[in-house]
């Protein structure tokens, strides 16, 4: 049973999100700042548009096991905008991947900047022992009250308990990408989980493209052009760029390397 203090904290968090949205709607304010959901992002990457993008991307070849998937979006403040899945029920995909998807969304948002995009795949090599960002994966721990609170029957629906709350968490393998709108503004992050991490990245990239939130300024991949996954580990396990990711399958590698051509970022 939750203690009084835990209930109070949850009530405050929920009250801030819901109250802020209600006040914004009453005032006709479509651009929200501070600890409230970004309404513009909620419209563009809300529940229905996110689910459609996930279902369509999952249907394509991605080099994985063709599994059902989870996806989550956070806004620039780290608040969860939407959580969706592709299966008939929430248990048709790995239950643990719900939180992982949200962690990836949080990570991509938290470690990208208006002028530099970093996907979660870009963080793998740097966070290994001896890497320049070793220890980053321990930063910003997941808010367990948010991750596992509420009614499990609501997980992956428009009333998922995570929506409107900060999930936190840091994840450093493929599947998370930052979101940039048509003005080049960094507006949040998208996370995908449920298959091999390389397939997760491929699906996330395709979803971002479908949502038209891929006006990426520059990154560490493709000569500094974008935040695509980088496969450059040598036989000794060293990434030439320092931002590499292990290969999952030959098919996933080929699909991932081709993403800037098949699903090019917008400028």
Domain locations along the chain? 4-262
Closest C-alpha to 190, from 88, 60, 54, 21: 54
Rounded Cα gap, residues 198 and 55, in angstroms: 17
Q: What is the mean pLDDT of the chain?
A: 89
By mean pLDDT, which of 15-29, 48-62, 137-151, 159-173 is the weakest? Answer: 15-29
Distances in Å between the Cα of 42 and the Cα atoms of 46, 77, 150, 237 are: 4, 13, 21, 41
Dump pLDDT digits (tens) for 24-83: 333 333 333 445 899 999 999 999 999 999 999 999 999 999 999 999 999 999 999 999
Q: For residues 213 and 187, what is the distance between their CA atoms, to the nearest angstrom?
A: 9
Q: Which phi and psi (to 5°) does residue 187 adopt?
A: -115, -5
Question: 224: which 2 tokens?
Answer: 């500094």
The pLDDT of residue 36: 86
| pLDDT (0 to 100) of residue 206 | 98
pLDDT band, residue 205 (cuts 50/70/90) = very high
What is d(CA 138, CA 146) in angstroms, rounded to the nearest whole number? 18
Q: Looking at residue 254, what is its pLDDT?
A: 98
Contact predicate 206/263, CB 8 Å: yes
**What band does 267 get if pLDDT is binned at 50, 70 and 90?**
confident
- pLDDT-derived band of residue 184, with 50, 70 and 90 as boundaries? very high
pTM over cut 0.85 = yes
Q: In the predicted model, what is the mean pLDDT of residues 226-254?
A: 97
Phi, psi of 189 (to 5 degrees): -145, 155
The domain 4-262 having CATH identifier 3.30.450.150: the answer here is: yes
| Distance from C-alpha of 78 to C-alpha of 105, rounded to nearest angstrom | 9
Using DSSP's 3-state secondary structure scheme, residue 231 falls into coil
- Quickly state the pLDDT bin for 168 (edges 50, 70, 90): very high
What distance in Å separates the CA atoms of residue 125 and residue 155, rounded to the nearest whole number? Answer: 32
- Residue 127: the pLDDT is 97
In this prediction, residue 35 carries a pLDDT of: 57
Length of the chain, in residues: 267
Helix (H, G, I), strand (E, B) or coil at 37: coil
Q: How confident is the model at residue 2 (pLDDT cuts 50, 70, 90)?
A: very low
Average pLDDT over residues 129-157: 95
Read off φ and ψ for residue 190, nearest 5 degrees: -120, 135
């Amino acid at each position: 049973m939750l203690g009084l203090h835990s209930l109070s904290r949850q009530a405050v968090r929920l009250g801030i999100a819901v109250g802020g949205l209600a006040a914004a709607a009453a005032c006709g304010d479509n651009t929200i700042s501070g600890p409230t959901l970004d309404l513009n992002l909620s419209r563009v990457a809300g529940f229905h548009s996110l689910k459609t993008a996930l279902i369509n991307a999952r249907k394509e070849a991605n080099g994985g096991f063709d599994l059902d998937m989870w996806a989550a979006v956070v806004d620039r403040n780290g608040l969860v905008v939407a959580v969706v899945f592709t299966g008939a029920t929430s248990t048709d995909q790995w239950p643990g991947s719900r939180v992982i998807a949200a962690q990836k969304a949080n990570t991509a948002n938290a470690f990208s900047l208006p002028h530099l995009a970093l996907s979660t795949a870009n963080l793998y090599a740097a966070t290994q022992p001896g890497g320049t960002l070793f220890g980053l994966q321990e930063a910003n721990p997941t808010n367990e009250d948010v991750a596992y609170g509420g009614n499990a029957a609501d997980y992956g629906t428009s009333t998922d308990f995570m929506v409107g709350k900060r999930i936190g968490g840091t994840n450093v393998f493929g599947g998370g990408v930052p979101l940039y709108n048509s003005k080049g503004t960094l507006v949040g992050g998208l996370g995908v989980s449920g298959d091999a991490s390389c397939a997760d990245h491929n699906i996330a990239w395709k979803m971002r493209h479908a949502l038209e939130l891929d006006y990426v300024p520059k990154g560490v991949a493709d000569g500094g052009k974008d935040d695509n996954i980088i496969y450059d580990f040598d036989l000794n396990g060293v990434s030439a760029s320092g931002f590499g990711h292990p290969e999952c399958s030959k098919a996933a590698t080929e699909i991932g390397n081709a993403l800037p051509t098949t699903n090019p970022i917008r400028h």
